[in-house]
A and B are shown apart, each in its own frame.
Chain A
Amino acid sequence: MRENSAFAPALPTLPKSLTGIDGLDEITEGGLPKGRPTLVCGSAGCGKTLMAIEFLVRGVLDYNEPGVLMTFEETAAELSANVASLGFDLPKMQADKKLRLDHVHVDRSEIEETGEYDLEGLFIRLGYAIDSIGAKRVVLDTVEALFSGFPNEAVLRSEIRRLFRWLKDKGVTTIITAERGEGTLTRQGLEEYVSDCVILLDNRVIDQITTRRLRIVKYRGSTHGTNEYPYLITGEGFSVLPITSLNLQHEVSNDIVSSGVPALDEMFGRGGFYRGSSVLITGTAGTAKTTLAAAFAAEACRRGEKCLLFAFEESPRQLVRNMLSVGLDLQPFLEQGLLTIEASRPTLNGLERHLVTIHQLINKHQPQTVVIDPITNLISVGSLSEVRSMLTRLIDYLKVQGITALFTALTSPRNGQSEMTEEGVSSLVDTWINVRDLEGIGERNRGLSILKSRGMGHSNQVREFLVTDNGIQLLDVIIGPSGIVTGAGRLTQELQEQAQAVVRQQELDRKDRELERKRRVLEATIANLRTEFESVEEELRQINDEESTRREALHKGRQHIANLSIGRISTSPDDQP
């Protein structure tokens, strides 16, 4: 934020010098005050010297700012050897005229005080060292050693005050380390003299786990992060852990990536997760969270993307073997270098170290997808609130990097709610899938539901799924009399339905046959009736015939009679010949 305001023309900000130390520049919002002394204090073994040396080395390597290291405790050779393990090649930098080491040997037994003196010799040495290589950065480690060498504290104090003033006038950015005192920041009260920036390092053991914390006690003329930030000394140097930005201004993507389970994709309105979003899979033990996570990782690799998988429960080989049993072959992806499995026991490291490891591996591999299985295991190495804050930082970091992240979290079967969800991780993630046991009728089955999915619609169904030889298969929903039916219940339901179907079929067949019979009966009846009809018709015809014959006969008879009567009245010629 403060960096942004540097672009505003009317507001000059305090010039700062980037330290190049992981995270420290974020907390200090741009580094240490340029051209001024900074006091780094802390108890023994908390990394003051290392931080100071890294400040110099980063200056040389990253910012082309030569540096002078004036050490009052360790010799140049010792220091070089100590930091060589971090990959800092001090002798080479010295040869390149980028770094000057000056070991100031202070031994009370060799010093006899015989009158007035001052520490002009120190100034000359330092001035010469600075001028000979054009140094911009200076480290005095630990200037307090002078107090053991010179008996006259009054002279010493005024000289130290003069030294800091002189360094300021020289315009070199200086780190002065000092041992922490009882109740004061430094044993000799150096904080009185260095008033621009004071950084406190603290080494604390809680529940047998050491955490190192850094706090900026004061930073004159600048805002800064005020919290205690965990820091680590890793194989690559000093690392402070806010590494994330504190605001929510990361880029978002509209791309969709598949979950690796086609049926699961279908449950999402847009067919998958948004790229760069974070996904949480919660579930009780044995609910195939790892399988879901591995499916997601494998899908990412199939797209040709790099994936980093952190396994806190299984070794890489074990994971590969186990996933092979469900038809997920991760080996080719490992061989292609697309998939990197980083397995470690959570208890191996402190929490901060885990997260720094995660950060470093992400920086090293530049993956598009990160899977952490499971995040809940980290609780074993830290308190809940610590874990929450670390995860917040981690998730935030992944989002800023645009990495699609999938976490699994073990939930307690007792309360059904994840400890992590209570810790607010769920509000950080964009998609939350819950897998759980659907227990009933003497068996357990796995059910999957989507609790939330930011930015897209999703199915509200609880889907039963099977882990088969060919991966995860979601089954169709069967609704029974008491909610969804799963497992053996599902089979029973299916059998019942089959039986019912058979019965129905038989009933149908029976009805068909009956109908056929009826038809035949009716047809027979119809035939009878027709026969009857025909006989009646016959009879009728016969009657008709007889009738007409009778009529004809009658008619003929009448005619005959008529003819006869005519003959009688008038003798017919025929009758009277």
Chain B
Amino acid sequence: MEKETWELRLYVAGQTAKSVTALSNLQKYCERYLKGRYQLEVIDLLKNPQLAEGDQILAIPTLVRKVPSPIRRIIGDLSNQERVLVGLDIRPLESPEQ
């Protein structure tokens, strides 16, 4: 798992405060925990609304972990670091309940 490249997609809708916060938070976590083995794609649904359906996006912002499977979705501005890491399954050893 350590060798896999993580594919992450962040769905936002324009440059709202929540979107900006989410993006900066995500970049922070990625640099810290996944440095060098992640791909981050930011999709602005205002520009590409047709993409919302494919990933079942309802809430904005939503972070989708495409790889590794299974697909995980994390909603919100990612300000709660603990939950983001649990949600992305980044530190499984530190959260045995997951």
**Do A120 and B76 have beta carbons less than 8 Å apart?**
no
| A116 beta carbon closer than 8 Å to chain B | yes
Q: Which of B13-41 contact A (CB under 8 A)?
A: 13, 16, 18, 21-22, 25
A116-B79, A124-B52 known; A146+B72 contact, CB < 8 A: no
Q: Is B6 positioned at the interface, with any CB of A under 8 Å from its CB? A: no
Q: What number of A residues sit within 8 Å (CB to CB) of B?
A: 26
Pair A112/B74 contact, Cβ less than 8 Å = yes
Contacts of A125 in B (CB 8 A): 49, 52-53, 57-58
Instruction: Check B77–A112 contact: CB distance below 8 A.
Output: no
In the complex, A515 has a CB within 8 A of chain B: no
Contact status A117-B59, CB under 8 Å = yes
Q: Which of A102, A117, A127 contacts B18 (CB 8 A)?
A: A117
A120 x B45 contact (CB < 8 A) = yes
Binary contact track B49-88/A, C-beta < 8 Å → 1, others 0: 1101100111111100000000111111111100110110
A183 contacts which chain B residues (CB < 8 A)?
A: none
Give the residues in chain B near A102, CB-CB below 8 Å.
53
Q: How far is the CB of B90 from chain A (nearest CB, A)?
A: 12
Please determine whether B58 and A121 come into contact, CB atoms closer than 8 angstroms: yes
Pair A115/B13 contact, Cβ less than 8 Å: no
Residue A114, interface by CB 8 Å: yes
Contacts A112-B83, A112-B86, A114-B78 known; A122 to B73 CB distance under 8 Å? no
B42 sits at the interface (CB 8 A): no
> In the complex, A472→B79 CA distance in Å?
92
* Chain A CB within 10 Å, residue with most, of B52, B72, B86: B52
Q: Chain A nearest CB: distance from B43 CB in Å? A: 10
Partner of A121, one of B57, B72, B80, B83: B57
Does A11 interact with chain B (Cβ within 8 Å)?
Answer: no
**What CA separation (Å) do A121 and B52 show in the bound complex?**
7
Checking A104, A111, A115, A146 against B77 with a beta-carbon cut-off of 8 angstroms, the contacting residue is A115
Say yes or no for A164: interface residue by CB 8 A criterion.
no
Cβ–Cβ < 8 Å partners of B18 in chain A: 115-118
B49 and A110 within 8 A (CB): no
Give the complex CA separation of A106 and B73 in angstroms: 11
Is A105 an interface position by the 8 A CB rule?
yes
**Docked-complex contact A114 and B87, CB < 8 angstroms:** yes
**CB-based closest 9 A-B pairs:** A112-B87, A115-B76, A128-B49, A120-B60, A115-B79, A115-B77, A121-B57, A114-B76, A125-B52
20 contacts between A and B (CB under 8 A): A106-B58, A110-B71, A111-B73, A112-B73, A112-B74, A112-B75, A113-B83, A114-B78, A114-B87, A116-B76, A117-B18, A117-B76, A120-B13, A121-B60, A124-B46, A124-B49, A124-B57, A125-B53, A127-B49, A150-B59
* Residues in B lying within 8 Å of A, measured CB to CB: 11, 13, 16, 18, 21-22, 25, 45-46, 49-50, 52-53, 56-62, 71-80, 83-84, 86-87
